[in-house]
Copies of this chain bind each other. A is one copy, B any other.
Amino acid sequence: MQFHWGLPMQFMDELLDLAAMPVEAFSAKASTLVRFSLLDWMVCGLAGRREPLAEKMRALASAEGGRPVASIIGGTAAPARMAALVNGATSHALDYDDTHFAHVGHLSVAIYPAALAVAEELNAGAGDAMAAFLVGAEGAIRVGTVLGRSHYNRGFHQTATSGAFGATLAAGRLLSLDRDQMRAALGLCATRASGLKSQFGTMGKPYNAGIAAANGVECTALARLGFTSADDGIFGMQGFVETHTRQAEEAVPTGEFLFEDNKYKLHACCHGTHSMIEALLVAAAERPLALGAVVGMRLTVNPRWLRVCDIKAPRSGLEVKFSYAWLAGMVLRGDLTGDDRVYTDALAKDATLSNFARRVDVIGDESVTDLEAVGVLHLSDGSEIPLHYDLAESMPEEILAFRLRHKAQAILGEEGAALWDMLDALETHSARAIGARLSQSNEQL
């Protein structure tokens, strides 16, 4: 199936077509990534369940009570709208979840909590939840692409804003909303969606993901009850686009699933360091590399990262996550950069890493994209090893699955590995069985 995404007249109709798209029309790659996203989202959610933010969100849910129809990560159960709010925030607490760069946002944390909560309430299958997620994710990317850089640069957090439309599409598909109801749900979402980047660095950032998910559940529940709304809340007069971006993008990609470009974090540190880490891992995979044998390293990255993740002498575990030099030493030493618990404050005082850091030069160059790393390692025997990695290139599915499983095991141990054991038969589970994996974990707390 091909989408044309004509702007602005056809956009709403194409979103409605997308929401009703049969599973058979999904691309194979998109269907595979949807499954990876579900498991990786569950891992991020469980890894975040002990964060103070997660505890506060669960306290809010406990205080309200209500029909326990949807699982709460690290807790019990709540109404779907509340579960979506709590789980969205909890799964984004560690900022370790997937990213879509054209959407400029995180898809799973905004959309899976809505899809799963509604699927649990309806006692639908995990396959239905995943199909709903895919149309939601693709719709969110489309809305995000239209809102464009102008929206993001103005200060809006696409994860929350475009994400709410994705959550609405996903929840609406599960609820079998008819076309008019789905149109109304998207209209209500246009007046309900919100989220600002100025929350970054505070609990407001993960809260934004929860907002998006909860908005999707609320707007679809109201539309199902017969609520009316604007005919075209997105592109209509004074709709979401006109009010939330100075310049809507005219050149929206046509064709199939943009979701195929979804990216997964494999290291629990700043995204700007990932291409360097991957470049070092590729080099180390090709020949034995001892940290002590590296006498120098030169790294070239896009200049925007120099202000973000080139901390020369980190003072805390958090700052290590933003330090090329420290992270390079860790990778060469074989540290598990995928485990969030590795980044302790003691690591910032590590003498070996401190010594190695003095031998690292980082240079900015506009000709290198912000997904790329280029460089060279100088060895004690006088030889040089070139470094290069581009995150824009697609990783083979088997390798990605293997590494995401490894990430799960690194941060959750056996619990994480067990989640990935579900991969081959994911569709045979009920949404409630998936939810139980998230909430039963509470017993271990």
Q: Is the CB of B203 within 8 A of A227?
A: yes
Q: Is A67's beta carbon under 8 Å from chain B?
A: yes
List chain B residues, Cβ under 8 A from A208. 191
> Which residues of B are found within 8 Å of A190, using beta-carbon distances?
196, 198
Least CB separation from A193: chain B residue: B194
Q: Are A222 and B56 in contact (CB under 8 A)?
A: yes
| Complex: A196 Cα to B190 Cα, angstroms | 8
A253 within 8 A of B: no
Residue numbers in B under 8 Å from A79 (CB-CB): 63-66
User: Quick check: B227 and A196 within 8 Å, CB to CB?
Assistant: no
* Copies, count: 2
Q: Give A157's nearest chain B residue, CB to CB.
A: B191
Q: How far is the CA of A81 from the CA of B63 in the complex (A)?
A: 11
Q: In the bound complex, do residue B228 and residue A202 qualify as a contact, i.e. CB atoms below 8 Å apart? A: yes
**Complex contact B67–A243 (CB within 8 A):** no
Q: How far is the CA of A222 from the CA of B208 in the complex (A)?
A: 13
Q: 1/0 contact trace for A13-57 toward B, CB 8 Å?
A: 000000000000000000000000000000000000000110011
Are B225 and A204 closer than 8 Å at their CB atoms?
A: no
CA distance A187 to B221 in the complex (A): 28
Q: Please state if B198 and A238 are interface contacts (CB–CB under 8 Å).
A: yes
List chain B residues, Cβ under 8 A from A187: 199, 202, 204
Assess whether A226 is interfacial by the CB under 8 Å rule: yes
Chain B residues with CB below 8 A from A82, complex form: 64
Q: What is the bound-complex CA distance between A66 and B67, given in angstroms?
A: 7
| The residue from B155, B191, B237 contacting A194, defined by CB atoms under 8 A apart | B191
Chain B residue contacts of A53, Cβ below 8 A:
227
Q: Within 8 Å CB of A65, what residues of B?
A: 65-67, 79
A179 at the interface (CB under 8 A from B): no
- Beyond A64-B81, A194-B194, list 10 extra A-B contacts (CB 8 Å): A56-B225, A64-B79, A65-B67, A154-B238, A154-B242, A156-B243, A192-B194, A198-B236, A198-B237, A204-B233
14 CB-based A-B contacts, threshold 8 Å? A56-B227, A63-B221, A65-B66, A65-B67, A154-B243, A187-B204, A190-B196, A191-B195, A191-B204, A193-B194, A198-B230, A198-B238, A198-B239, A202-B228
